[in-house]
Amino acid sequence: MEYEINPKKICKLTVLPSEIKKYINEVSGESLKVLLMIFSEENNLSPYEIATKLDLNISQVEDAFRFWKSKEIINISEKNNSSLSAKKPSASQISSEELKEAKKEDKYVNMLFKQSEQLYSRPLKPMERRTLLYIYEFYNLPIDVILMVVDFCIRYNKPPRQILSICEKMSDNNITTHEQAEKEIQLLTEKYNIESQVRHCFGIYDRKLSMNEKNLINKWFVDYNFKINMIRLAFNRCIDSIGKLSFQYINKILLNWKKENIKTPEDIEKFENGKNKVSKSVSKNTSYNLDELLTKSGLFIPE
């Protein structure tokens, strides 16, 4: 496959330090996006603004800051570094020497790497090793729990940062046993299956779901207790009404159904037939009593 840059679309260039080429094989996608954002903006953005623009969480942006600081690409002032210094070092800061030493000296780390390679059916990449070692050293999770998360992320084609994110939440919630982790993985599996169903139903194949969209999907299934067939009906009505996909419009439809205790397509039919009967009845009664209403009003229809 050959390619070339389209000059018609390149109206502005962002200049990056040539030093970055040295780290292209070890830098994460998030850290690279953060750096591109830093260099492409005329004014310095706060970590929160960068996180918002890139749809990242604040810890991912701060990890990127630490990585590029460790490579002397950016500097972090003491004022802005106060919140970072209290946190653990990032996985990307673990050196190759530390990886080799940990694998050699700690049998559990060696086991974690070997079992993970069996799950991946290939050798681990450097960033994957760094992530696993970081989780093992800082989150105090048993090897079997970490491997369960690795297996889950492989099945759903999730990157190393997702393994880190899930393990971090498990550690924060004191999920440290095999049984607790199984329940958590089951919940995550249901969540991703639900999101996959909705993406397929709505025809969303070219982008990720936003956090707001994920929250609405969770609300439809968990809070409103709807099945995918009802969400598909709401989607079809949304397209028929406004001609495009709108999560908020679909949410309004589903919320109205919930208020009316509508749970199945049959409930919709009964409800709408009932409304039609009431409407026809009102119309019929109005026409039937027209002479009486005119008489009471002192009016009459000439013969």
Question: What's residue 218's pLDDT?
Answer: 92
From CA 237, how far away is CA 234, in angstroms rounded? 5
Question: What's residue 31's pLDDT?
Answer: 86
- Give the total number of structural domains in the chain: 3
Q: Are 75 and 109 within one domain?
A: no
User: Per-residue pLDDT tens for 216-258?
Assistant: 999 999 999 999 999 999 999 999 999 999 999 999 999 999 9
Question: What's residue 273's pLDDT?
Answer: 81
Q: Are 146 and 111 within one domain?
A: yes
Asked if residue 63 lies in contact with residue 30, where contact means CB atoms within 8 angstroms, the answer is: yes
User: Per-residue pLDDT tens for 83-125?
Assistant: 444 445 678 778 888 888 888 888 999 999 999 999 999 999 9
98: Cβ contacts below 8 Å, ≥ 6 apart: 133
Write the CATH number for 243.
1.10.10
Asked if residue 187 lies in contact with residue 221, where contact means CB atoms within 8 angstroms, the answer is: no
Q: Are 87 and 99 within one domain?
A: no
pTM score: 0.56
From CA 9, how far away is CA 12, in angstroms rounded? 9
Three-state secondary structure of 61-121: HHHHHHHHHHCCCCCCCHHHHHHHHCCCCCHHHCCHHHHHHHHHHCHHHHHHHHHHHHHHC
Q: Are 22 and 71 within one domain?
A: yes
* 203 inside domain: yes
192's torsion region: left (phi>0), alpha (psi -120 to 50) or beta?
alpha
Question: What's residue 292's pLDDT?
Answer: 53
Question: What's residue 303's pLDDT?
Answer: 46
Question: What's residue 172's pLDDT?
Answer: 86
Question: What's residue 299's pLDDT?
Answer: 42
Using the 8-state DSSP alphabet, how is residue 205 labeled? -
Q: Are 71 and 23 within one domain?
A: yes
Nearest CA among 157, 243, 253, 166 for reference residue 196: 157
* 260 inside domain: yes
Q: pLDDT by residue for the chain (303 residues), tens digit each? A: 666 766 666 666 666 777 788 888 888 888 888 888 888 876 777 776 787 777 776 677 888 888 888 888 888 765 544 444 444 567 877 888 888 888 888 899 999 999 999 999 999 998 899 999 999 988 878 999 999 999 999 998 888 888 999 999 998 888 889 999 999 999 999 998 999 999 999 999 888 889 899 999 999 999 999 999 999 999 999 999 999 999 999 999 999 999 999 999 999 988 888 765 545 554 555 554 545 544 444 444 444
Asked if residue 133 lies in contact with residue 165, where contact means CB atoms within 8 angstroms, the answer is: no
Domain boundary among 140, 173, 206: 173
* 73 inside domain: yes
Question: What's residue 200's pLDDT?
Answer: 94
Nearest CA among 162, 184, 163, 160 for reference residue 174: 184
Q: Are 125 and 55 within one domain?
A: no
Domain boundary among 60, 91, 122: 91
Signed CA dihedral, 76, 81, 85, 88: sign only: negative
Task: State which residues form the domain around 250.
Answer: 196-267
The CB-side HSE value for 230 (13 A sphere, CA atoms) comes to: 23
